[in-house]
Structure 1
Amino acid sequence: MFSANRASVFQFSVSKEMDCCQVGGQSFLLTVGKQSLLLQFKTPTGLYTHFHSCLSQHQSLLQDYLRIATYQRAILLNESDFKDKVVLDVCCGSGILSFFAVQAGATRVYAVESNPMAKYTKILVQNNCLSERIRVLEGKVEEISCPDMVDVIISEPMGYMLLNQKLMESFLHARKWLKPNGLMFPSYGDIHLAPFSDEQLYFEHHARASFWQQRSFYGVNLSALHGAAGEEFFRQPIVDSFEVQVLMARSVKHCINFMEAKEEDLLRMEIPFVFTLLQSGLVHGLAFWFDVAYLGSKATVWLSTAPTEPLTRWSQIRCLLQTPLFAKLGQTLSGTVLLAANDRQSYDINITATVDQSGFRSGNVLDLKDPFFSYSNPADIIC
């Protein structure tokens, strides 16, 4: 069926048994019982825009207590940074951060949103009788014209591994509207990485390709694609949570100062690492998580996605090595992680790792835009 503007219109009954997953960078598969619906978008941007204009998606964001409470605490504990100030809310979504800024005393908030969610944000602003203090600007921050220079820029630009979806570039771009000595909330972020050992995860991921070993699938031999399937699956970062005991060394961190970093700095980031192993065993890959800090004049508030902290919608990310590396207690694992921005609103991850004492090395190239979710949580898929 087609609507008057030639957009596809369909009906699909859903229930709590519905399962959904992202398929590549531009498709989404919904399954209920024996019925499946594949949504295909012309571009990765179309996929992102569609789901971030859905109230169901924003409901899941607002129901993340840790995320919401941390932002409100960071803003209200630094009330003096917002009182009688002009604030810019980048990629505002539902506008919840704009409301927090008003609670802290901001006289004017410019809430910027480029997707259709902006119409709902306007309704919330009007219904809360704040139209005189919160003005919704529809469009990308790179394209809109902000009426005033601002004292504070607030946003939630974080995706998986901090950088997925590349909203951080828009956050940094917005500094062109920031007054001298203005504030950025968040102020800086740390990407953490550490080696892990998890034999079960490695073999479970490897076994996903065993489907393609079948030589008589309804009379068809699929085995010629087994190698290609294995390579594709190993290019997928794994979104999950894990026990801290699987980590084999203290983490190394890469710091990004949002007050100083330039947009071009995010196009290519090389993170060198040297880990001293705290236990002997097989290194199956590298685990990633991030922290962000809200540095105000009265208080510094942290939001952490570390495995030692309560689980957030960002979970953690694990990237498998193509071949596990054996290392002994006290030996060092060195190498680099190269994060290269791509045209799919995400990053390619290139990992190289060497056990210095033995010379054994391994690595992998992964696509952060196409992760594998080791748990069923559809609300977190677009992150």
Structure 2
Amino acid sequence: MKRPTMKDVAQAAGVSLMTVSRVVSHNPGVSPDTVAKVEQAVRKLGYQRNVNARNLRQKRLGTATIGLVVDDLANPFYALMARSIEDEAHRRGCVVLVGSTNDEPRREREVIAAFTARQVDGLVLVPTIGSHGFLRTAMASGTHVVCVDRPAEDLDVDTVTVDNRDGARHAVAHLLGHGHSRIAYLGDRYEIWTQRERYAGYLDALSARGLSADPALVRHGLRSHLETRLALAELRALPDPPTALFSSNDLITLGALDAMDGPDDPDGSRTAGQPLPMAIVGFDDLPLAKQLDPPLTVVSQDPVAVGSTAANLLFSRIAGDRSAPRKVVLLTRLVERRSGERPGHRTDHRPGPPTAPR
């Protein structure tokens, strides 16, 4: 059966081809009665707009789709970032395909291969660890790439990040300023660029106070609530436990809060709702941070600004911008709410030089 065309719709509605085009493109200037006639003809004929044909007429030669590849869409930061990118795409009549990698290079390649096979016009990519030179083939075929949250190894493309190191430094300096010197660090995999930057900021803040990191207070590689709970239990069982905690991302923060929202000792001497056993500052804000008891002090980065900046760079490239790759670094801010302001006890504890991550 022949697929109905815009010309068929115009004949059925008794209007010009230009009028049909304006109605299906949602352009203003068409009377409500005429819009109703055209829409009735569209429904009756089963007409569907041919986006690829429209792109060809506009010499875009694209598919009006882009791909977004993130670590974990369940992460609140990436969810908000994805929505921001989707909003930018929607304004341009584009669709966003989304895939998660769980920070696994093999899975990342599979998702990217699936997207490029669908001839997406571009990719917004949160890179996993390892070389990304393999993307040059897709780029040579016309797929534009913008990296977000982290730079990609072996690939010179537009990149949007935040100042992770400075944000972490401010967080730990804040805890030091409230009298804490035994400050624990809970982090994701050290191989991830953002985690290395945040750990460096942790060390910077300690060093500025003449302190060295105590390896007993540092935990890397935490990828689940269970791992975070176990790490926190180990820290609290130390002969000289930490009085404060810096958490390197929102999922680890949630795991730490969950672990602290219960009995402090095996005999159940602390119950849910009592004050947290240590001060805590987390990197990344949380939707319910203000409603926690106490409200959560965080290093806040703006996922909406990160996403919209990356999307605008990508659409600029798709539109023909061939200037040198840009490196955009957005600022963070420390949001003081109370969980990081619990006073500690100043000590002269100096446990020795930093060691390699665990």
TM-score, normalised to structure 1's length? 0.30
TM-score, normalised to structure 2's length? 0.32
Greater Rg by CA:
2
Which of the pair is proportionally richer in helix? 2
